[in-house]
Structure 1
Amino acid sequence: MSIPDFLEFGSKLTNLEKTRNFNVFGDYSLDPFRKLIDSHGWRDRKKERLRISVVGTNGKGSVSHFLAGSFSNLGYGTGLYTSPHLFDPKERIRIGPNFDPIDQEDLKEISNILFTESTSEELSFLSWFEWFTLGSFVLFEKKDIAVQIYEAGLGGRLDATKVAEPDILVICAIGEDHKAVLGNTKEAILKEKLGIVSERTRIVFALEPEPSQLKILKEFCSEKNLDLHLFPSLPEGKSYLDHNQEYVKFIVENLQGYISKKLSSLEKTEQVIFKPLPLPPGRLETISDLPFIVFDPAHNPDAIRVTLASLSSAFPGKRFSILAGFLPDKEGESMAEKLFDYTKIQNTNLYFLDSKEFKLPEGYGSYSVLPEKLSEILKPIRNAEGLLVLGSFRLYSYIKA
């Protein structure tokens, strides 16, 4: 029997990231996914593990990458599962110390396990995100990965990464995004994300939220008997990447005793080499020096505000024109207003990508640019020292191609 290709099989599954049909969550349950993987033991811990779930609206991708680098520097075999990807879905599953995207051999190994122990028919009900989540479980256990970090995709209570049953929960900044699924307020969204907690969870780390959210967080941790550690929220004038590195340092330092006890039986690598944490791809990333182009995936009002505020610290002395692209389910008008105000103060240019994929914010027709005209925008810009591209992960391929 021939073993199906992992990516090819996944391409036939329902992919909500592409369809944007989040209405399906009204009737969604994790139970079928949980029952499937438990019937095969695919999420069982072969040894003692440290599984960390990272949730939040903004910053969870960079925090997840920094956590992975930190634990790898400590000498632990570390696996990282994130979403979405920039170019290639293989980017979602990485293993230290280099954290390159998994290669074709890794995918073959996952497929051999899944299709030897199951059938295509049994697996065909999975969603594309569940499929990749399952792939990370199988590969991390197969390779005996001690520290496993799972970035939630959407929410927490209904997110496929919930079945990892995290020992540690890390909460990043809460903002208003995917409100049709998660709730219309930050308080409701926080509750959805807290739903990722399992009976295994012992410790919660969080960026200190607004008082109304903090009350919910403290009551939840008290009810569940969870240790809560708070870290200050992002101060004005500081790059969010610098702040998230400090947050991760705080997390790792506070986990030292817990880790040494929980993972005492695990051998570390022979030589621990401490090195600077690499910056996560696609976050305030310099794409080109001439012309100077920076990419960031900010795609909700809070993230836009934080990214704009981070520019002066991350790129001192530089002014930016902006190219943005917003998916139809985003609050384009609210974000466009913030971008307009920034470029007006900076005396720079503002562009919005207008295509079938990206929706032009209402009232900003004169700022539109068609995809075939992008090459003109990506040239050196008069009266500006750089171009900031943001609004969606999907824009990355437009400017990197």
Structure 2
Amino acid sequence: MNYTQTLDYLFNALPMFQRVGATAFKKDLSNTLALCKHLGEPHQKFKTIHVAGTNGKGSSSHALCSVLMQAGYKVGLYTSPHLKSFTERVKINGIEIPEDEVVQFVNENKGFLDDLKPSFFEMTVGLAFWYFAKIQVDVAVVEVGMGGRLDSTNVIQPEVCLITNIGYDHMQYLGDTLEAIAGEKAGIIKQNTPIVISQRQADTTHVFNEVAKTKQAPIFFAEEFFQIYKVSDRSSGVYRVVQGQESFVIEMDLKGNYQQKNLAGVLKTLAILGKLGFSISHNHLQAGLENIVKNTGLKGRWQLLNESPTVLCDTGHNEDGINYILNQLKEYSYEKLWMVLGMVNDKDLHKVLSILPKDANYVFVAAKIPRAMSALALLELGREHGLEGISMDDVNDGLAYAKKNASKDDLIFVGGSTFVVAEINDL
């Protein structure tokens, strides 16, 4: 098979949760374990850092990767979903896996894969571990896909685990309370392995404490060690970090205000890695956090696409993520706000739509995936919440319409779903 045929095999022959939803969700690790055994247990041949959470796990994973790269390590990075290219999911030092490596992996293992019938996600996890072992990375940052306990990535034995924010997302799979969702995320906590919690939350703290106690895992609530204060307003990415009696300034090239919640967890995770023998200086830390996008190729996190009118996009897609976006939009001066939004149909859309500003102009769109709610259906649902606008099937048509009708002093935001952001041509 060539690369195009290989991608067809990956995307179409096997279930892919991001595209189809529930039918691709598996409730055990048996396929991943079988695939790893077939591949020679590649995940046991390099050190790992495991990152879970509802919001912030992708940004935190890229931040950790960037700092470790600055410290001179060969760093694998596994994240999902991809925005533009499948190969974004598997990187070493910010370089995407070559297409011919993807082809080789499938061609060499196709007979086994045909018999096992793993999900798309299980296969990509196997691919990542196989490639990281082949290239002999020093350490890999592995982002959980969904949940934690039963996620395909949860076969690794990491040096340290990090759990970011816990919010309401994927509730039909993970539970309908924050405690239940936290319980699934806490499934990545391993015996005698340090666990960092980025954000102490009233509904989840006891869950993490109980699991950590059971696993005899040292637990660290990051905000007890690092207090993070924003230095200036509006998307500066500059923070003052207070650590005991000392303080220092960090500038991140990720400008979303929600990075303030992620930063303490990243810093504590790196501090623990330092105690485990990783050589990470303050200069490595500063340079790594200033160059996350450059080093790792991260896209779609509070990204400026245009000026006059201002066009911003962000992949935040659940109630917590949208709240952060709306609060940050309030820091901007503009005449009129335009919202180009698309969403998937298995979220609690009423919660999200109910918090959106009613005085904005809406252009409802749909990503080109089966899970996407149609633009017209989203328009009708939006009207139930007092949101007025139009529907256009294509994301880029919707953005073009907004830019054509906006004044130079207006602000256009594009988002609502990772998959909407992924289809922006100018990203």
Q: TM-score, normalised by structure 2?
A: 0.79
Q: Quick one: which amino acid aligns to residue 122 of structure 1?
A: D
Aligned twin of 1:268 = none
- 1:7 partner amino acid: L
Question: What is the match of residue 9 of structure 1?
Answer: 9
1:349 to 334, 351, 361: 361
Please point out which of 127, 133, 140 is paired with 2:132.
140
Is residue 212 from structure 1 mapped to residue 213 from structure 2 by the alignment? Answer: no
What whole-Å deviation, never above 9, does each CA across 1:114-156 have from its counterpart, x for those lacking one? 35xx645335x01111111111000000000111111111111
Residue 216 of structure 2 aligns to which amino acid in structure 1? N
What is the 5 A alignment of 1:231-250? 231-232=222-223, 239-250=257-268
Bigger mean CA offset, 289-298 vs 140-149: 289-298
Provide the residue aligned with 2:392 in structure 1.
Answer: 370
- Deviation of the 1:222 alpha carbon: 1.6
User: What is the match of residue 413 of structure 2?
Assistant: 388
Give 1:104 deviation, angstroms. Answer: 1.6
Q: Is 1:45 aligned to residue 24 of structure 2? A: no
- Give 3-state SS (helix, strand or coil) of 1:340's partner: coil
1:324-369 deviation per Cα after TM superposition (whole angstroms, max 9, x unaligned): 111111122221121125xx3xxx4233326883241251574232
Kindly state the Cα deviation for residue 103 of structure 1 after the two structures are TM-superposed: 2.2
Assess if the C-alpha contact under 8 Å between 1:156 and 1:162 holds in 2: yes
Q: Which amino acid aligns with 2:157?
A: E
Task: Tell whether the 8 Å contact from 1:291 to 1:380 is kept in structure 2 after alignment.
Answer: no
Q: Deviations over 1:231-263 (max 9, x none)?
A: 239889881135434532332123201134xx9
Specify whether residues 76 and 112 from structure 1 end up closer, same or farther in structure 2 by C-alpha distance, changes over 3 A only: farther
Q: Quickly say closer, same or farther: Cα 1:44–1:382, change in 2 above 3 A.
A: closer
Change (3 A) 1:256 1:311: farther
Count of matched residue positions in the alignment of Structure 1 and Structure 2: 375
Cα distance per residue 1:77-134 (max 9 Å; x no partner): 10101111111111111110xx13222233244346535xx645335x0111111111
What is the match of residue 267 of structure 1?
none
Q: Which residue of 2 aligns with 1:34?
A: 33
CA 1:371–1:282: 2 relative to 1, 3 Å: same
Following the alignment from structure 2 to structure 1, what is the Cα–Cα distance between the partners of residues 220 and 258?
Answer: 19
Q: Give the direction of change, closer, same or farther, for the CA distance of 1:180–1:235 in structure 2 (3 Å limit).
A: farther
Instruction: Select which of 53, 57, 65 maps to 1:60.
Output: 57
SS at match of 1:328: coil
Contact kept in structure 2, 1:169 and 1:197, CA below 8 Å? yes
What is the rounded CA distance, in whole Å, between the counterparts of 1:273 and 1:234 in structure 2? 15
Shift in Å at residue 3 of structure 1? 8.4
Cα deviation per residue 1:22-60 (whole Å; 9 max; x = unaligned)? 2664x63211321232244133433xx321111111111
**Which one of the candidate residues 333, 339, 347 is aligned to 1:330?**
347
Unaligned runs of 5+ in 1: 264-270
Offset, 1:13: 1.1
Is the Cα contact below 8 Å between 2:198 and 2:261 reproduced in 1?
no
2:159–2:273 CA contact under 8 A, matched in 1: no
Establish whether residue 85 from structure 1 lines up as the match of residue 82 from structure 2. Answer: yes
Using a 3 Å threshold, how does the CA distance of structure 1 residues 173 and 235 change in structure 2: closer, same or farther? Answer: farther
Name the counterpart of 1:100. Answer: 95
2:339 partner SS: strand
Verify the 8 A CA contact 2:31 2:122 in the aligned structure 1: no
Picking from 269, 280, 284, the partner of 1:251 is 269
| Structure 1 pair 161–318 and aligned structure 2 pair: CA distance change class (3 A) | farther
Q: Which moved more, 1:224-233 or 1:323-332?
A: 224-233
Q: Which residue of 1 aligns with 2:241?
A: none
Whether the 8 Å contact between 1:168 and 1:203 is mirrored in structure 2 is: yes
**Whole-Å Cα distance in 1 between the matches of residues 172 and 23 of structure 2?**
8
1:75 to 53, 68, 72: 72
**Gap regions ≥5 residues in structure 2:** 234-255
Residue aligned with 1:326, SS: coil
Superposed, 1:143-158 pairs within 5 Å as 143-158=135-150
AA at the equivalent of 1:56 = G
Distance 2:29 2:228 in 1: 33
What is the rounded CA distance, in whole Å, between the counterparts of 1:122 and 1:41 in structure 2?
Answer: 18
Q: Which residue of 1 aligns with 2:244?
A: none
Q: What's the Cα RMSD here?
A: 3.1
